[in-house]
Chains A and B, each alone.
Chain A
Amino acid sequence: MRPARQIAHDVQSGVTTAESEMATSLAAIRAKNEEFNVFLYVDEAGALDAARRVDQRVANGEPAGALAGVPLALKDNLCQVGIPTTAGSRILKGWLAPYNATVVDRVIAAGAVVMGKTNMDEFAMGSSTETSAYGPTRNPLDPSRVPGGSSGGSAAAVAAEMTPLALGSDTGGSIRQPAALCGLVGLKPTYGLVSRYGLIAFSSSLDQIGPLATNVADAALLLEVIAGHDPLDSTSLPEPSPSLVAHLDDGVAGKRVGLVRELFEGAEGEVVAAVHRAAEALRDAGATIVELSVPEFRLGLSAYYLIAPAEASSNLARYDGVRYGLRVDADDVAAMNEATRTVGFGAEVKRRIMLGTYALSAGYYDAYYGQALKVRTQMIDAFKRAYQQVDLLLGATTPSVAFKFGAKTSNPMAMYLSDVFTIPTNLAGDAAISVPFGTGEADLPIGVQLLGPGRSEAQLLAAARVLELADGRP
């Protein structure tokens, strides 16, 4: 599949049309969706409409946008007006969002052609897309394996060449981990860089929307479109979208990169080897590699699995059968709430709601949630100290390549450990990118992770570009 940047260029210059790009995408979706279970909803009519509007703008000689005619997939936790939006949950089956998420408005304004909504772990709680109420998504590189999660559908859409770009959301690694498992570039932006308005909340202080792409430049292009202040999100950073594409070739010469032991220890040997090779590549490009230890990172998993469920337990209270979504009737309203939630939520969501409710409840708050918030402070301080020594950090994205279905479903703790390298960034609110670098078992892709301080996206993308070139991709 051609890169998004190429498609937008060709559409704007009249070499191709948005309608034909849309048709190509639709054909791929039709051909592969049954096998991989990627899209929960395909908006054929809407996509055709959008494509024709772009073509009309081109015909009128108007600029059609940075994503002119580029087919794009939305994770199903992003609201799009009139489109079924389920967050992978039975409790929202049939719900049509009555408004657009800010990112949806922005991609449409930039000329993107939204093809539909992709499968995900229910309410983004999972690392394999196996907790979706609508069945698991298969990894297009090996259908016996998971695509990662929770943005597994979005990653699979791009990996299966259904769309060149997709939007995902990352609360504890949900963009970077599936990107790694599907051989893609995935970026978790600085908290507040991208508006959360219209993103169905999992954990509000951690959630960020970000791009999934086949290459670094496309990820930069999509992020530039969706980033920048939004008055509808109180946690949105005040500044406009940063300039990213223009800095892609900045390289890493003179940069100091910290190779962090805690960000690859315990990973499979082939993953550790890839991380070391990535360090070599960065050094070859002029960076100085500094070996670092940041012990606080080891506490991230515990803090995360208290903070995120605590916020989720509150964010998911509204699914009570009163105003929208599923209702299971009962005699009184409390019993109706309970019956609805019991039927509407899957096991993983219930597990996390329970965990979060417990962590916040009287008598346990201080020991669990309160303590986790203090660990979060320590995590932020630890990152700050690290960034006094180096510009960026390097580690693995995941402990292993894509795993088989069911491998971790019976043991939640094992599944939670999939996120051990990605979580610290979310807790600190910083930025990080996963970029494919070599392959491992069964020739499956390995992702390495670059981490930077808040607002370091341009640097991260430039460094990722260095690794992309070193990995033999143009």
Chain B
Amino acid sequence: MTLAPEWETVVGLEVHTELKTMTKMFCGCANAFGAEPNTQVCPVCLGLPGSLPVLNVRAVDLAMAIGLALHSTIASSTFHRKNYFYPDMPKDYQISQYDLPINSGGYLDLPDGSRVSIERAHLEEDTGKSTHLGGSGRIHGADRSLVDYNRSGVPLVEIVSGPDIRSSAQAHLYASELRGILIATGASDGRMEEGSMRIDANVSVRKIGQPLGTRCEVKNLNSLRSLQRAIDFEASRQFELINAGGVVRQETRHWDEGLGETSTMRTKEEADDYRYFREPDLVDLVPDGAWLERIRDTLGAMPAERRAALRAHLTNPSPAQLDALDVVIDLGFDDYVLGAIAANVDAALAMARAANELATDVDHLANLTSDAFATTLTMEQSGQLSATQAKTVLLELLAHGGEPRDIARSKGYEQLTSAALGDTVSEVIAQHPDEWARYRDGDDKLAQFFIGQVMSVTKGQANGKAVIAELTARR
């Protein structure tokens, strides 16, 4: 069921992103995903008696970079303790920022032209992770749980948007644009599947023009797809409830990906009393102008700016070309594409190869220089390589590095280069004197005939454009 036309969904998002530091927020243990359980722990992140936190400067740098990218006000801030008992939280309080966050205010402009306000983006520490044994393996019905504290104390920034989002699609767009920004600042790797970006959605519905409705907070949405589905489900649920004469209760709800439903986790009445107070083991954070400037200087262009720069090279782009552009921005392939464009490679071709071939092997990008990418595409464009060959050369470059020409030669693609192609074209012309005569007299359609002949001789490895160039030269 969808909302009636005069109704709208109102969404505010809380995005938790793990920061890409070497070490945890308050101790020197590694901040790395996937290690053996409880091998990245120490007295501090295990909350052992007597241990004390010391703030990681890199976490502050990255939080400030996020603030700058979101046009926030970066100000003096303090840390508080949020007190509640939970086994994956070793001190039974979370160190977080409360009334004085490092970043407040700001906004994020989305590719569709809309703007979403940012309320705050504050620093806090992550918790450990529980595994549930027995029962369904989920928390409900388990008979015991096992706790791993490797993630405990990993630095997080929680980015809270205003209630400005009006649809699940816009929420998706916001989360994906924010993810791009987090990657661009170097703050996060944006890997939602590893939990390095987690989203809670505050969802309400209202008749357009009316005050905000009562909201429900949907917790722990771990993919953009769940985000969109959960918002749709929750908005419909609330709308149906109101339509049936019911009242939405303010509560925290859990999204079940399998069932495609949200369900009550905790009502407002049973909400915890967190007893926030200033963390006495830490001192105030007072970033001065020089610190801020240092961060500003290291900050590269944000996705919107980069997207505009690349978009300017496309005329009347197709939807497929725009998709390729998004992938290039998401994965940060700007330098490859811009380098190729500077070498006179067609922008759409450069983006297509980056979005399709480079995206398949991002772990080995270090093997591929921007020059090698541009050279390969130049060879493709000039007909020295067919499209299929160019793709093969790119994948080979990613896998093992090297020079495009050497790889082309070693794969036997060399015969197609200039001289070899020229000989083949000459032979085909000699074998078909009548068609050649008609072509010379102006029957352009016969170009396709010659391309076909050359393709069949070369077993499809020739480049059509290059064949035409050879034909034109002889006409």
- A residues neighboring B (CB under 8 Å): 77-79, 85, 87, 92, 95, 97-99, 101, 196-201, 203-205, 231-235, 310-311, 313-314, 317-318, 320, 322-324, 333-334, 337, 357, 360-362, 365, 369
Report A-chain residues with C-beta under 8 Å of the C-beta of B275: 313-314, 357, 360-362, 365
* Chain B residues, Cβ within 8 Å of A92: 49
Q: Mark B17-55, 1 if CB is under 8 A from A, else 0.
A: 000000000000000000000000001001111111111
A199 and B50 form a contact (CB under 8 A):
yes
Using a Cβ–Cβ cut-off of 8 Å, how many residues does chain B contribute to the interface with A?
Answer: 29
Is A234's CB under 8 angstroms from B55's CB? yes
How far is it, in angstroms, between the C-alpha of A357 and the C-alpha of B81 when the chains are bound?
13
Stretch at the interface among B88-96, B243-251, B336-344, B381-389: B88-96
Q: Is the CB of B50 within 8 A of A317?
A: no
- Is the pair A99, B87 in contact by a Cβ cutoff of 8 Å? no
Task: Check if A311 sits within 8 Å of B280, measured CB to CB.
Answer: yes
Find out whether the CB atom of B50 lies under 8 angstroms from the CB atom of A333. Answer: no
By the criterion CB–CB under 8 Å, are B90 and A310 in contact?
A: no
B145 interfacial contact with A, CB 8 Å? yes
Query: Across the two chains, which residue of chain B brings its CB closest to A91?
Result: B49
Cα(A200)–Cα(B91), bound, Å: 13
Residue of B43, B85, B280 with most partner-chain A CB within 10 A: B280
Is B48 a contact of A314 with CB atoms below 8 Å? no
Task: Give the Cβ gap from B415 to chain A, nearest Cβ, in Å.
Answer: 66
**Is B273 engaged at the interface, CB distance under 8 Å to the other chain?**
yes
Among A79, A231, A314, A334, contact of B54 (Cβ-Cβ < 8 Å): A231
Contact B52 A232 (CB under 8 A): yes
B282 within 8 A of A: yes
- Would A317 and B85 count as touching, CB distance under 8 A? yes
Q: Which residue of A lies closest to B274 (CB)?
A: A362
Question: Which of A87, A201, A320, A365 contacts B85, CB < 8 Å?
Answer: A320
Q: List 23 A-B contacts (CB under 8 A).
A: A85-B49, A87-B49, A98-B48, A196-B52, A198-B51, A200-B50, A201-B49, A201-B281, A232-B54, A233-B54, A234-B53, A314-B83, A314-B275, A318-B91, A320-B87, A322-B90, A324-B49, A333-B87, A337-B85, A360-B83, A360-B276, A360-B277, A365-B277
Most chain-B CB neighbours within 10 Å: which of A85, A203, A324? A324
Is B286's beta carbon under 8 Å from chain A? no
Tell whether B283 is near chain A: CB-to-CB under 8 Å. yes
Q: Are A310 and B48 in contact (CB under 8 A)?
A: no
Residue of B nearest to A357 (CB): B275
Residues of B within 8 A of A (CB): 43, 46-55, 81, 83, 85, 87, 90-93, 145, 147, 273, 275-277, 280-283
Identify which of B48, B52, B83, B147 contacts A322 (C-beta below 8 A).
Answer: B147
Establish whether residues B50 and A201, one from each chain, have CB atoms under 8 Å apart when the complex forms. yes
Q: Residue on A with the closest CB to B282?
A: A234
User: For A199, what are the chain B residues with a Cβ–Cβ distance below 8 Å?
Assistant: 50
Which A residues lie within 8 Å of B52 (CB)?
196-197, 232-234
Task: Decide: A314 near B85, CB < 8 A? Known: A99-B43, A205-B280.
Answer: no
B50 surroundings in chain A (CB, below 8 A) = 77-79, 97, 99, 101, 196-201
Task: Determine the residue in chain B with the shortest Cβ distance to A192.
Answer: B283
Q: What residue of chain A has the Cβ atom nearest to residue B271's Cβ?
A: A362
Q: Is the CB of B54 within 8 A of A361?
A: no
Q: Would B49 and A235 count as touching, CB distance under 8 A?
A: no
A318 touches B54 (CB 8 A): no
Give every chain B residue within 8 A of A365 (Cβ-Cβ): 275, 277
A427 to chain B, nearest CB (A): 13
Given A101-B50, A313-B83, A323-B48, 19 other A-B residues pairs in contact with their CB atoms under 8 A = A85-B49, A87-B49, A99-B51, A196-B52, A201-B50, A232-B52, A234-B53, A235-B280, A314-B81, A314-B83, A317-B85, A318-B92, A320-B87, A320-B92, A322-B87, A323-B90, A324-B48, A360-B276, A361-B275
Contacts of B43 in A (CB 8 A): 98-99
Whole-angstrom CA separation of A125 from B208 in the bound complex = 58
**Most-contacted residue by chain B among A310, A313, A318 (CB, 10 A):** A318
Residue of B nearest to A200 (CB): B49
For residue A263, give the distance in angstroms from its CB to the closest CB of chain B.
26
| Closest A residue to B54 using CB positions | A234
Give min CB distance, B401 to chain A, whole Å.
Answer: 42
* Docked complex Cα distance between A64 and B46 (Å): 35
Chain B residue nearest to A369 (CB atoms) is B277
* Distance, CA A53 to CA B466, complexed state (A): 84
Instruction: Check A197–B51 contact: CB distance below 8 A.
Output: yes
- Per the bound structure, the CA–CA distance linking A249 and B275 in Å amounts to 49
Contacts of B273 in A (CB 8 A): 361-362
Per the bound structure, the CA–CA distance linking A101 and B276 in Å amounts to: 28
Chain B positions within 8 Å of A204 at CB level: 280-281
| B46, B273, B275, most chain A CB atoms within 10 A | B275
Tell me how far the C-beta of B276 lies from the nearest C-beta in chain A, rounded to whole angstroms: 8
A324-B43 Cα distance, complex, nearest whole Å: 12
Which 3 pairs show the lowest CB-CB distances between chains A and B? A317-B92, A360-B275, A204-B280
Task: Give min CB distance, B106 to chain A, whole Å.
Answer: 28
Most buried by B among A99, A232, A234: A234
- In the assembled complex, the Cα of A334 lies from the Cα of B92 at a distance in Å of 12
Tell me how far the C-beta of B84 lies from the nearest C-beta in chain A, rounded to whole angstroms.
9
User: Which chain B residue lies CB-closest to A324?
Assistant: B48
Chain B residues, CB < 8 A from A317? 83, 85, 91-93
Q: Nearest chain-A residue to B91 (Cβ)?
A: A318
Bound CA span A91–B154, Å:
28
A232 → B minimal CB distance (Å): 6
Kindly list chain B residues whose C-beta atoms are within 8 Å of the C-beta of A322: 87, 90, 147
Known: A231-B54, A317-B91, A317-B92. A310 touches B277 (CB 8 A): yes
Measured CA separation A234–B145 after assembly (Å): 34
A231 to B83 CA separation, bound complex (whole angstroms): 26
